[in-house]
Amino acid sequence: MAKLCKAGQQLREQIDDDYPDRDRKSDGWVADARHVAKGTSDHIPDARGIVRALDIDANLNAHPEETYALVEKIRKCAKRGDKRIKYIIYDGKIMSSILGWKRRKYKGANPHRSHFHISFTTLGDNDGKWFDLEGDRNERLKEDGGKLGQDLHRNSPSDVPSGRLGCRCNCKCGSSISLA
Ligand SMILES: [Zn+2]
């Protein structure tokens, strides 16, 4: 029985959370017979039945720019060091650790415009931890050494500047401002 690697399950869940009304027509993960016949693809289950590839429909039911922005978030997450991501293909471009996750021309037959493809490394087989797509964790480490969480427990909330708490809310206010 084929199953999608944990990292793939987690990434899809995060995208579903962010875009609950997205179109899923071009979604996919396990290869169909036609793909299997062609031979090599991360969509083909390995000997243990693990599939290390995920296709996400490019129609997020949002502004088309959002798709580019989402792919860019995944690319940056990989570049920052999430080694579970092997490569990404979207709109005629491939991004991988080759040339430091720079966008390169994709020469494959399918330019991937109806969906984007993410391949995962074996590190993602059982590692389904949350993908830091916004880069919040790194920002936080840079800003306060990651100590804010501890401070919240130790001190009264008034010791924490309210502005910084505001930034960490999950309301996407930041992204909508930058899109305006
Ligand atoms: Zn694919």
Please say if the pLDDT value at position 38 is more than 80.
no
CA of 80 relative to ligand 1 center, distance in Å: 23
Please say if the pLDDT value at position 158 is more than 50.
no
Please say if the pLDDT value at position 160 is more than 50.
no
CA of 139 relative to ligand 1 center, distance in Å: 31
| E strand or H helix at 174 | helix 173-179
CA of 143 relative to ligand 1 center, distance in Å: 37
pLDDT band for 175, please (50, 70, 90 cuts): very low
CA of 81 relative to ligand 1 center, distance in Å: 22
Residue 76's nearest CA partner among 19, 131, 8 is 131
Q: Which residues touch 28 (CB under 8 Å, ≥6 apart)? A: 43, 54, 55, 115
Phi/psi region, residue 81 (left: phi>0; alpha: psi -120 to 50; beta: rest), is left
pLDDT band for 144, please (50, 70, 90 cuts): low
CA of 55 relative to ligand 1 center, distance in Å: 5
Per-residue pLDDT at 59:
97
CA of 43 relative to ligand 1 center, distance in Å: 7
Please say if the pLDDT value at position 72 is more than 60.
yes
CA of 93 relative to ligand 1 center, distance in Å: 13
What percent of the chain stands above pLDDT 90?
Answer: 66
- Taking residues 30-40, what's their average pLDDT? 73
Please say if the pLDDT value at position 162 is more than 90.
no
Per-residue pLDDT at 139:
61
Per-residue pLDDT at 174:
30
| Residue pair 110/150 in contact by the 8 Å Cβ criterion | no
CA of 44 relative to ligand 1 center, distance in Å: 10
Please say if the pLDDT value at position 70 is more than 90.
yes
Please say if the pLDDT value at position 114 is more than 70.
yes
From residue 117, give the alpha-carbon distance in Å to each of 43, 88, 126. 10, 6, 20
- Taking residues 40-66, what's their average pLDDT? 94
Amino acid identity, residue 108? G
Please say if the pLDDT value at position 179 is more than 50.
no
CA of 30 relative to ligand 1 center, distance in Å: 9
Please say if the pLDDT value at position 159 is more than 70.
no
| Alpha carbon 130 to its chain's center | 10
Provide the mean pLDDT of the chain.
Answer: 81
CA of 155 relative to ligand 1 center, distance in Å: 48
Mark the residues whose beta carbon lies below 5 A from ion ligand 1: 55, 117
